[in-house]
Every structure is written in C-alpha cells, then in structure tokens.
Structure 1
C-alpha cells in the first residue's frame, strides 16, 4: 500500500497493519487456491481510489485462480463500521459489518485466470480500516489492499481523460432547465460513466444566486443542488471540474469599470466555495473562471485582469486549508484562447505561482470557417488540419513539455447541433474529430467534450448519433482510416462508371471493403493503386440496386484498427427550385431535392459584390442565413440575410449541392417583400 502525503486522504494505519499480518499469515499457512491448477482459488485486489471526510470510493478486482465459475459472491467484513451507499458492476449489500457483492447477469462467469471488477461508494465515521479477509463462493482468497496514490498534476489530468461537459444545465440562466435540458440525475451520470468518461466538467452560473454586497452570500439551495451533483459524480469515481461559468460575461467582465466591486464579489464567491468544498477528495478539481473576458479592453489589458483573478483564485483556495492545500487548480488563458500570445501570459502566471498542482485550460472549436460552415469551408482540408495541429503543438510545447498539464475544457465544432442538421457534412466532421483526438493523445492533452444536449439525449439517455459517439470512443485509444469523401453520387439516368476515392490510412493498413458482413472482391469489385481506391461499374451497379433517390447502400472501408470508413452509394438528379414570393421575415424556396444534399450557398449582387452579412466573402454562413428543410421540400432564407440586402437590387444565389454542383437562383427585395425565381 502506498501512503499519500499529508493533506491527502488515506487508509488508516490500522488497516495497513491488519493487512500485513493477514498476508504474513496467508503466506505461512498457504492460502486456499494458491495453486490454481489443483482446485479452487482466488485473489482480490481491494483499492480505496479516493477518500474524503465521511466517504470513499472502493474498487475491487476479483481474479479466479481455480476452476471456472458460473456465478459468484464475494464476501468480506468492514472492521470499522463502514457502509456501502452505491455500487456498480455488482450488487453490493451490507448487513451490519458484513458485505456481500454478487455478480450481475453480464459478468457472472469467470474463467480460470480471468478477472472481474466492480466498484462502490462507501461511508465511514471514525476510520476507514481495510478488510482483512475475502471469500469467493466460500473460498478464502489471497488479497492486497491499497489506498489513494499521490498523483502529480500531470497524472491527475491524465486520469481525467476523456471528459464530458454537463453543458447548458447548471450554467443555464436563470435555472437548471431554462435552456431545454432536464435536471441532472444519477442515471445521467451512470450513463456517462458507463460510456467510458472519466471526468465531468460541471459549468455553474452563480450570478442569480449571489446576494448583495458586501457579503455576496451564495443561496443555500443553489449550493446544496451543486453539492448534490458533485457528490453523485464522486460516488461514481468521476473527477469533477467545477467553475464559475457565465458569470464571466454577466458581471466579471465589468472589471475594467468596476474593478474593486468585481474583485470583492469574486473573492467572496470563491471564499465561500473553497470553504464549502475544502474537505472534498482530489476527485474535485476547481477552475477559476470560464472564458474570461473584460469589456472594452485590448488583449494586453485583458491578460492583466485575467492574471489578477487567477492569482486571487489561487490564493483564496490554497489558504482555505483542508484538501484545498494541494487540490488541482485549473487556470484559463484570456478567452481560454490557444494563441501563443495568450498562453505565454498564462505560462508566466503559472511559473510565478510556483505550485506543482496547477493546470492550464484552453478551449478548442477548430478553424472558424469550417466550424460554422462559412466562406466555402465545407470540407476538412489543409487549413482545418493546420489549425488543429498548430493549437495542440503550441499547448504541448508551452505547457506539457514543461510539466504543466493542459485541459481542453470545451471542444467540438461551432454550430453543430441535432436541431441544425447538415451544417457539417457527416464524413468531413468525422475526419475533424479523428484528427483532434489523435493530436490530443499525441500531445498528452486531456479533453472534455462540450455537450449541451447535441450528443447525449438527456431525456432518453441515448446517444443521438451512435456513429459519432463510436468515433469518440475509438479515438480515445487509436486512429481510424478515412477517405477523400464518404459518398459516391450516381446520377439517376446516367451510365454508371468507375468511381475513385483517395484513402487516408493514418498509419494503418487497408484491409478491404465490406457490404454488411460480406467482403467485396478485390479486382472484380474494386482496385487499390497506391492510395487510390476505385470501385468498378459492376460493383456500383449492384450496390445502387433499383436506383431510388437517396442512399441505396453503404459499404465500409476497413483498416487494421479504429473505426471503418463508411461510403454511401447515393442516387440523385439535379434538384429543381421553384419561383417564390414572401417577406424578409418569412421566405422559402420550394425545392425538389431528388436525393441530393445542400453543402453551401453564395449570395452576390449583379456586379459580383458579396451581400451582407459576412460581406467579406460570397459564401454565407449555413443555418444562420439559410438552411434546407428536406422533409418539407424547401430551402429557407433567413431574416439575417434578407434584411441586409439592398432594396431593388437583384441578388444571385448560387446553391452548391454535393452531387449536382451549382444551381443559380435570383431574389429581389423591395421593402419587406421578396420575390424569387429559378434560373
């Protein structure tokens, strides 16, 4: 057992002595099952992963050293009156000091030499002494016990990977459900834990729950609710990153004009939070401020204000005592921006604080034009990749290479949401996710996906797009191969010819094409020359079937690791757009999409000048200015676009489709009236 330093939670010395005595006795007597081949036997590894005043997380690994078992019960006794408050991967019951853990349906079998593991949240009062014996189905087991090990900041942050944000919930304004998500429940955290996440980021906006000066007392009901969620997460052995969230723009950004008032309020809020949570285990991590910003300032002025608040946060938490003396604290750059100038300032702050339990945090939503689909950035290209590689390389070289861990506290792409389908082409989005996760692994950076409900449906507790989640999960450990596109568009009445894609193997071996469980035949169905994958006319004819509009079939390019790359065979005709009339507040273009999909739209006046908004380029932002409604058979032009047009001037809209290419359409605005005609 490894003892932790002063101030960290640990198993009591009595438990260590009892364990050593038990092990000595076991060695002298020869524990049943020490010879796995001769009969029943078992080993138990009992670990207290974290401990705090009144509670702890237990992790148990049971190894079968004897004959296979088809169902199991593990029994032990708590020496000092501990209890079990929650469990996972086993049904754990207590009766007095006696504990019985029973298998669940999916893990009841343990083969010879195989192991099962389960965990539980426990409670204690005076001490938390370790059990001194374990029995598996009545057989006494070999065992080891260990307590929380002393983790460095780098190790702590690594243990938080991967992480998940409970976005738009406790940070919603003014209440937890105000932005459309249901209340956080234990079942939600069970789902996140079961999915493989090791940490949650718990954004909290405190603004509407802070009293008046000079005390700025936090509402007790609000603090109790946040504490409840933190407790639930810790009981599940999840790290929790707790912060001040939208407070950053609701009052903290007033610091340039109300310096002393903002500092006093910031001080009072963090003083209360530090005191309240000071005895919590190291699973609780504190973040100074979300996306710090300061109204009306230059970058340099903002850096100085952010530095001041980061230092004040550090002083408040460290001086509060208890576990806060060496708790991991997370400091953001200005705007949590990853540009070199911003992270250089944060690096100086961290260096001067001279505290080995600090981490830096930035956010990452990728190359902006691709992230929102504007300026023609519909595909993952060299600009998008360069932005990813550059950001992660800077973060590594500035911080990680100097033993300062980095948490990407939020990541994803902007404008991606289940309510805005089509902003990002699915395959191009997967390439982005794949590269981001690879760069994070390669550079030793922990990431916490921003999820405001667009990934995990909080009502059904199901992933909205299982394929995207599967990519996330695969990306935690390995690369996946991709290709130049994920679709092959076949014009309905055209002769089917060979179609080629370029493979991006990402260091993996290409293993062939599959249609369901059936492999396609190399030579007859496809050929590979270098990185060029070509499907034959015969294969495409078979895959297109009766050539109805839309996706006719999906095949997979499989690689030696990671996720297969899906390739959709799609039949289409050139979409047909109809004349329309409407207003600047409501204008739709009737559209027969005939199996095709819209990728982007340009908007220019007759002389070629781009219209507003975004007049610096002709390509308009997807969904903000336009969007297709495939179910209704329309393309919607938004007021943001129409209200910005010049009266009486003809505007040419060029719609870009993935299959058919460009289709032009004209509109004219007169006052609030809009007319449109197909070209």
Structure 2
C-alpha cells in the first residue's frame, strides 16, 4: 500500500468542463470560445492537488488570464505553469512566459497544490480574459495526474549548463495511444534479471525537469522546459521507448534535522510524475539527482564533506520518505540511489570519498527494503564513482551493497540490484560545445572532424567490461544516460553520426544484456540533446529515434 498519508487519502477526481465565449484582455488577441477542465488529482487530510487545462475554441490569443473562486475557503499554496494571486476565495492565474500563445484548439495547462478545511468542492465558474465560461460537469474516464522533470552531466569532463527548450518543426510519427494501467500492486516483485532487461528495453530520460532548480529550490520549469504532460509521455511511448528515467532533486525541499521532512507538496508532485508514466505501462526509474553536485546551490550529498554522520542520517530519512510514498507501485518502478556522485575532479577516485559513496548505496538499499511492501523485493539501482565505467568495474573501490533485508519471497539464486553507469565517450563528439568534432564511427567522411579515440571498438570493450564484472554475476547493467549534442550548425551531416552513435550504443548494450536510457534535456537546436518538442509533444529527431529502435 501507499504511505500513511496516502492511506488516509480520500482520493478525489472531480472534473469540471465549461465552455462559453471569451473576451480579449488588452494583451490578448480576439477569441470566441473556451473550455476549462479542472481536475482534483489527489487529496489527503487537509491538502489536495489539482490540474487545470484551458482549451481555446476560438481565434488565437497571445495571453490569457483565468479567474475563479473557491466555494469552501480553499487556499492555493504552490502553483506551476503560470503565476497566481489569491485574494480571499478569488484566484487569478496568468500564463507563464512559454504558454501564453494559444492557437485555435490550443491548450495550456497548470497545476497547483492547496489546502482546505472540511469540504473541497471544485469551482463551478471560470472567466477567461474577462468573460464567463459556463458548462456542465463531465466524468473523467480515469483519475487524472500531472507531471514535472530534469538533466545530465558527463562522467569524464565538467558538466554543461542547462539550456532552455526551443520549438523546432515537428516530425510526423504515428498517433500515440494511452494505455493506462492500475497503479497499486500488493504482490511481491517476481521478475528476474532477464525479464527485467527485456521489459525495460530502450529508455528515455525526462531530463532538466524535476531536478531543475533555482538557487537550490527545485522547480520543474526552472530550466526552460514546460510542465510535463501525458501527451508527451504518450508520444515517448509511441516512439518505441519502454522506460522513462525521471531525475529528481530535493535540495531545499528537505527540512531541518532531526526529521529532515521532505516538503509534502514536492513529494506528491514526484509521485504524480511517476504515476503519469507508470499508468501508461512504462517502466519508471527515479533517483536523487542534483543533491550530490557541488556546483548546485543547496547540494548536501557531498562525499568529501566533513559532516558525514549528518549527511548519512539525512540521506536515510529522505529515502525513507520517498520509498514509503511509492511503496505500493509494482515491479515497473525502480529506485536509483543517486546520480553522478564524486568529489568534483575528473581524475582517479579518492578516499574516503569512494567509501562514503559505497556507504550511501548501502544505506539506500537497507532503507528501501525496511519500508516493506513491494519495496522489499523491488529492483534497486546503484552507481559507482561518477557512474564511470572504468571506476565502477575496475579496481578502484566500488562495492556492491549487500541485500540482507530483501523479501524472503525472492529466490536465493536471484539478485534485485542493478548497476548504473553513463556513457558519453568520446566527450569531444558527445558533449563538447564546439564544431571541431562532429562525426563518429566508420561512416565518418572527414578524419579531421572525428575523434581519435572512443569509436565502436572502445564502446564494445567498455560495455563488455560491465557485462563481465556484473551481469555474469546476476547484476543487470543500466546505461542510464548516453547521447550526443546537436552540432548541425557546424556540420549538416552531424545528425547522421549522432544516429550512428546511438544505434551502436544501444545494439552493443543489448549484445551484453544491458538496458539503456537516452539523455534528453528538452533543448532542441544547437548543443541540444532533445528528441522531442515537449511543448507540442512531437518528435524532432525521428532519425535518432529510429536508430535507437533499430529501424
């Protein structure tokens, strides 16, 4: 079952749909009709979450102002996807910078968390740009949810700055079909390593979203991406991906000692994102992402810091809360202990930093298992030093955690721990922001534009190293990030080599029984990793997707 807070929940899924004429604010263009869908996505004790979708049924508008009033004194405490003011029961929401323009039949969405006392009825009247929209309630076909997400860092060179998304011309793909499935599951996770690898298939990262932050405060739109929608995940699934990795940062959302309470609204938001993907039949991986970077404001999971006792206590209590919140999800949910944890220098691992990373992994496994339920048999994912293959598989100090508290229902011959690595070699092709190295692999036509190392033979040797060290012992390998940035501004043929790189990595990983997840940071255009336009939920790099899928 879910956490105590969720167990006490009286889940509401109230949806109100209204239509009517729309007047124009001074900032907006003419419009003639609208629809507003208001959905309560979850509710607990005195709090709740809601999603609101505005559909423009008339002429295009360049800005919107939505107003409504609560009928029972509810208060909005946190809102994403717009800006909000509240005076008494009256709420005004204005568009964010990226979702103000609405074409005919275009939509904009925002979500919020709020508090209530007693009852929590949905608003029944809305005005858009000054004119009332009225209509009858509608019944949803399934409980709605909403979402956020986040970013990569190289394993051998300094991380690059996040970039805002752009809106390139979409590439046509087949129409996605949502496949919602029940979320809760009470049976133990019975899938073995071979079936896990086969089921996870090809993965995709929802990067630069739930790990995005401003000065240490997590904010899903802070790095230029819009609020994630079910339509985006439908498109990701339709493209052929089976797994979504959702990086998450906690940072300033964690309270002080001794409890280290995670902001309940943020924890709920994380679950909403998980549910959005999980209910579409996807495997989902969530981690603790930005909390271990020295370059991130508010980071605290620092392996060479002096206060290790406090750090380990905080780490244990945060994962205890996260694992308890998501305890009821079935075997398609995987927890990853952390991201690229290291001391900030790209040379050989140091001590006692590596020993502390091993200790974090052990705390993670023990803590998750002790929360019980499906977590006692769930697959767990742990990295070595900076998710670097050499420093994980080589003799540098990585220790696979023990799993003494796992469910007795797991056969003694089976593992429930995976090993996480990332692959961005050669970095001068995959991540360096310049036009010097734009080609990769045997099809390269210009030796001057091709790196002198890191070609397919090197890639094969690296992945074989992981297979021989871990997979042969029953620990599946997860290449949780890989990819290469867009350098077509310097070489029009660059996408061909990006596709070759992705195709070769995925095929080689499959050869050695590993799962892969492409790094997508939501940025299209120069130096971007994106495969999709997150605003329109369309494909922007069909050639790379086809390469990943082996088409």
* Shorter-chain TM-score tier: 0.5 to 0.7
Matched, 1:398 2:448: no
- In 2, the alpha carbon distance for the partners of 1:208 and 1:189 equals 28
Residues 254 and 295, structure 1, Cα contact 8 Å, conserved in 2 = no
Which of the two has greater strand per residue?
1
Deviation string 1:393-451 (CA, Å, 9 cap, x unpaired) is 111111112221011111112xx148966498233323222221220111111001110
Q: Give the greater-gyration-radius structure (CA).
A: 1
- In 2, the alpha carbon distance for the partners of 1:243 and 1:278 equals 15
Matched, 1:219 2:263: yes
**Structure 2 SS opposite 1:214:** coil
Residues 366 and 403, structure 2, Cα contact 8 Å, conserved in 1 = no
- In 2, the alpha carbon distance for the partners of 1:430 and 1:328 equals 30
Further displaced range: 243-252 or 368-377 = 368-377
Deviation string 1:622-657 (CA, Å, 9 cap, x unpaired) is xxxxxxxxxxxxxxxxxxxxxxxxxxxxxxxxxxxx
- In 1, the alpha carbon distance for the partners of 2:427 and 2:405 equals 35
- In 1, the alpha carbon distance for the partners of 2:188 and 2:362 equals 29
Cross-structure match for 1:485: none
Residues 418 and 464, structure 1, Cα contact 8 Å, conserved in 2 = no
- 1:180 positional shift: 0.7
Matched, 1:456 2:527: no
Cross-structure match for 1:186: 230
Matched, 1:209 2:249: no
- In 2, the alpha carbon distance for the partners of 1:386 and 1:360 equals 22
Residues 85 and 122, structure 1, Cα contact 8 Å, conserved in 2 = no
Residues 323 and 371, structure 2, Cα contact 8 Å, conserved in 1 = yes
- In 1, the alpha carbon distance for the partners of 2:439 and 2:278 equals 40
- In 1, the alpha carbon distance for the partners of 2:188 and 2:338 equals 28
| Candidates 237, 241, 244, aligned match of 1:200 | 244
- 1:276 positional shift: 1.4
- 1:197 positional shift: 1.2
Matched, 1:232 2:308: no
- 1:305 positional shift: 1.2
Residues 396 and 443, structure 1, Cα contact 8 Å, conserved in 2 = yes
- In 1, the alpha carbon distance for the partners of 2:440 and 2:264 equals 48
Cross-structure match for 1:429: 498
| Candidates 298, 307, 310, aligned match of 2:361 | 310
Residues 280 and 323, structure 1, Cα contact 8 Å, conserved in 2 = yes
Deviation string 1:310-367 (CA, Å, 9 cap, x unpaired) is 0010110011111111011001111000005555567642468697101000001121
- In 2, the alpha carbon distance for the partners of 1:197 and 1:346 equals 34
Query: If the length of structure 1 is used for normalisation, what is the TM-score?
Result: 0.47
Deviation string 1:529-568 (CA, Å, 9 cap, x unpaired) is xxxxxxxxxxxxxxxxxxxxxxxxxxxxxxxxx5xxxxxx
- In 1, the alpha carbon distance for the partners of 2:333 and 2:348 equals 34
Cross-structure match for 1:283: 332
Cross-structure match for 1:293: 342
Gaps in structure 2 of 5+ consecutive residues: 1-139, 145-173, 294-298, 407-414, 442-451, 523-529
Query: If the length of structure 2 is used for normalisation, what is the TM-score?
Result: 0.57
- The residue correspondences of 1:126-205 to structure 2 (distance < 5 A) are 150-174=190-214, 175-205=219-249
Cross-structure match for 1:661: none
Cross-structure match for 1:247: 291
- The residue correspondences of 1:167-566 to structure 2 (distance < 5 A) are 167-174=207-214, 175-249=219-293, 250-253=299-302, 255-294=304-343, 299-301=349-351, 302-339=353-390, 342=393, 348-350=399-401, 356-372=415-431, 377-381=437-441, 383=453, 384-413=455-484, 416-417=485-486, 422=491, 425-453=494-522, 454-474=530-550, 562=551
Residues 380 and 429, structure 1, Cα contact 8 Å, conserved in 2 = yes
Aligned residues: 346
- In 1, the alpha carbon distance for the partners of 2:516 and 2:310 equals 34
- In 1, the alpha carbon distance for the partners of 2:250 and 2:194 equals 29
**Structure 1 SS opposite 2:389:** coil
Residues 85 and 121, structure 1, Cα contact 8 Å, conserved in 2 = no
RMSD between superposed Cα atoms in Å: 3.4
**Structure 2 SS opposite 1:410:** strand
Gaps in structure 1 of 5+ consecutive residues: 1-82, 88-105, 108-116, 129-146, 475-561, 563-679
- 1:271 positional shift: 1.2
* Cα pair distance change 1:239/1:352, threshold 3 Å: closer
- In 2, the alpha carbon distance for the partners of 1:288 and 1:149 equals 19
Residues 166 and 203, structure 1, Cα contact 8 Å, conserved in 2 = yes
Deviation string 1:361-407 (CA, Å, 9 cap, x unpaired) is 00011212332467964432573223211211111111112221011
- In 1, the alpha carbon distance for the partners of 2:273 and 2:487 equals 26
Residues 157 and 446, structure 1, Cα contact 8 Å, conserved in 2 = yes
